[in-house]
Structure 1
Amino acid sequence: MTAFMSTVTGKIDAKGRVSVPSVFRAAAVAQGFNGIYLYPSFTESAIEGGGQLLMDNVNQMVGQLDPYSEERDALATALFADSHQLNFDGDGRISLPTALLDHAGIDKSLTFVGLGAKFQIWEPEVFAAHRSKARELAKEHRGMLRSLAGGPLPDKTGGG
């Protein structure tokens, strides 16, 4: 699977277009779509997005819920009604919808943040604060990686 990796800050041009970082474009194109899917984050003042694999996974998860349940309708509405399918132009740019920019508080600059199977787009200063909190939380929970790996991780420091 091609992962969305890296953190890249860029600007929004006078016409409201954003250049999607080349590493993000390459990951999306490798998944079979010359563009990206975006939606407002449920939990953060950020935009979430990904390629075709993310959208396929979202479809599959929603499809497993009871088709007549209130939960399914709520999730489907949140995930699909506010989602946007955006194709890259010849220069690798997209035009971000105003509703998404407003949700994330983005005005002139933005930061793309790779999260593996998906990515987020943040207002740069808001992301800096979020990143700091995320690093502290990751540090507190670093032992989870060992349990997921099925045993101790190799010590690359030579300290045992």
Structure 2
Amino acid sequence: MPAWTGPLDVSDVVDRPIVGRDDVTRLLVRAVALEASEVIFQTGRPVLAQIHGRLLALTRQWLQPATISRISVDLTGTDSMMSKLYSGRDADRAVPIEDRSAVDATGEPLRHRFRVNLTPNHYEGDIGVQLVCRHIPFMPPTIAEIGIEPGIV
């Protein structure tokens, strides 16, 4: 497969394959630290993160169909997820990710929440999958942070 020609997050690009849930958790925790609004796993692409409007690759490895299938099942906890996607239906899930590198006020590992959308797509004459993981911050942004004019609210 051709190499990704877009920008990389060169401070922590992952060169090894994504094997399981721990690798996905590590990537999502890294994306939260980078203030990514979305992390995109797609067949035939590296793992991408949208950070302040820019799309950056978090891995050099392109995701193969078997890898994206494993990630889909691991994140959703649904063994039949691929059958659903192969039948042309999409899926939405709320997925908590535990960040063992940080703790909350009670000393428990920090938990990040993501809204995960899984959509089938075409990939080299076959069916591929796109997973978009949108980070849901614990505290919603304030009106001032969003930039809404005071008279509108």
Pairwise TM-score range, normalised by the shorter structure: under 0.3
TM-score, with structure 1 as normaliser: 0.24
TM-score, normalised to structure 2, is 0.25
Q: Which has the higher strand share?
A: 2
Larger gyration radius, structure 1 or structure 2: 1
Q: Which has the higher contact order (CA 8 A, sep 6+)?
A: 1
Report which of the two has the higher share of helix.
1
